[in-house]
């Protein structure tokens, strides 16, 4: 019988590994992570042009769960997960699936890919606010100033969307912002668990738990959906989100979190909106407005200030 105390041994091994990962390698992984995630915004928009958001989410989570489950079964030999940690992972699953991804898909359906990517640029703000009390990261004056500036930029974008595009963009932006807050909370909650049990195991279990909660409703929507007009583009979009984002991107994020401060990892989100804007302009022909550029620069400037030593 496997000992329950095994995770403590794993935790010690993880801590030992911290000094063995060069900083350039970790940041190179983060840049790669931002590239593949930035591509998700226009690709998701293309998929949502053919699928209802709830149906899209159902197929995405089913695909990723099918891939995760056999691997997680083999990883059980690494030791049992403590009961209280299982509860935390379950809560992370709820944050990632219903509150982050499902809400994101609904919001993305109501706003532009560029707007959604800029909302995610505020991730470091939320992570920093949560990491101070929960992960005991130090509060710094410049970071606090940067937070205020970044949030001001977010409101500029939201209000600009309202006045220029109508109420549907305002609703979409606000929903995506809720998804961002859920992602930031899951990031902070998942850091110590990823260090203790491994990024893939924690991420996989969280996604499977969250998908199981969503499955009954998603299945109902899927069997009653109309698939007329669905092309390979829609299925490719689901495949990209289910494999590249839900597995590769999520695991990379939590793996790097084992070796760097949560707020430091989150700052790399600055790259994401810039790349997403480029991809959206190419794939969707989205027009970038002056209000959007001003708000985006304010967000990015504020987030950069949070990282000044």
- Per-residue pLDDT at 12 exceeds 70: no
**Residues 56-81, mean pLDDT to the nearest whole number:** 89
Predicted TM-score (pTM) of this structure? 0.77
Beta carbons within 8 Å of 187's beta carbon, 6+ residues apart: 123, 127, 253, 257, 262, 265, 266
Q: What does the alpha-carbon distance between residue 214 and residue 64 come to, in Å, rounded to a whole number?
A: 13
**Residues 71-99, mean pLDDT to the nearest whole number:** 89
Q: What is the pLDDT of residue 4?
A: 42
**Residues 151-175, mean pLDDT to the nearest whole number:** 67
- Per-residue pLDDT at 53 exceeds 90: yes
**Residues 50-72, mean pLDDT to the nearest whole number:** 93
**Which has more pLDDT, 30 or 90?**
90
The band of 88, judged by pLDDT with boundaries at 50, 70 and 90, is: very high
Q: What is the pLDDT of residue 55?
A: 95
Chain position carrying tokens 């302009």: 281
The band of 7, judged by pLDDT with boundaries at 50, 70 and 90, is: very low
Of all residues in the chain, what percent carry a pLDDT higher than 90?
Answer: 32
- Per-residue pLDDT at 57 exceeds 80: yes
Most confident range, picked from 20-34, 40-54, 135-149, 278-292: 40-54
Distances (CA, A) of 198 to 92, 138, 202: 15, 25, 6
Chain position carrying tokens 């989205």: 286
**Which has more pLDDT, 134 or 60?**
60
Residues 97-111 pLDDT 10s: 999 889 999 888 888
Q: Phi-psi region for residue 79, left (φ > 0), alpha (ψ -120 to 50) or beta?
A: left
Q: What does the alpha-carbon distance between residue 60 and residue 198 come to, in Å, rounded to a whole number?
A: 23
Beta carbons within 8 Å of 223's beta carbon, 6+ residues apart: none
Q: Which of 175, 186, 208 lies closest to 96 in space, CA to CA?
A: 186
The band of 164, judged by pLDDT with boundaries at 50, 70 and 90, is: very low
């Amino acid at each position: 019988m496997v000992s329950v105390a095994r995770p403590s041994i794993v935790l010690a091994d993880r801590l030992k590994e911290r000094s063995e990962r060069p900083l350039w390698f970790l940041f190179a992984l983060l840049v790669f992570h931002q590239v593949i995630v930035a591509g998700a915004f226009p690709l998701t928009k293309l998929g949502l042009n053919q699928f209802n958001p709830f149906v899209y989410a159902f197929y995405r989570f089913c695909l990723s769960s099918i891939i995760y489950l056999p691997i997680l079964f083999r990883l059980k030999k690494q030791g049992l997960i403590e009961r209280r940690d299982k509860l935390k992972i379950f809560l992370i699953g709820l944050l990632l699936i219903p509150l982050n991804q499902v809400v994101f898909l609904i919001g993305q359906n109501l706003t532009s890919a560029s707007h959604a990517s800029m909302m995610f640029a505020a991730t470091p703000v939320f992570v920093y606010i949560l990491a101070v009390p929960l992960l005991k990261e130090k509060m710094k004056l410049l970071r606090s100033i940067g937070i205020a500036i970044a949030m001001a930029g977010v409101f500029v974008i939201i209000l600009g969307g309202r006045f220029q595009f109508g109420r549907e963009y305002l609703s979409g932006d606000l929903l995506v912002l809720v998804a961002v807050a859920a992602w930031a909370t899951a990031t902070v909650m998942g850091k110590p668990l990823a260090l203790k049990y491994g990024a893939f195991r924690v991420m996989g279990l969280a996604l499977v738990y969250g998908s199981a909660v969503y499955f009954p409703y998603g299945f109902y929507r899927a069997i009653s959906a109309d698939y007329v007009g669905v092309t390979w583009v829609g299925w490719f979009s689901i495949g990209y989100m289910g494999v590249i984002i839900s597995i590769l991107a999520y695991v990379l994020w939590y793996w790097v979190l084992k070796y760097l401060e949560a707020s430091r990892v989150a700052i790399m989100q600055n790259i994401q909106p810039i790349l997403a804007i480029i991809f959206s302009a190419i794939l969707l022909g989205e027009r970038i407005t002056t209000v959007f550029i001003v708000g985006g620069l304010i967000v990015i400037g504020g987030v950069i200030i949070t990282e000044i030593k």
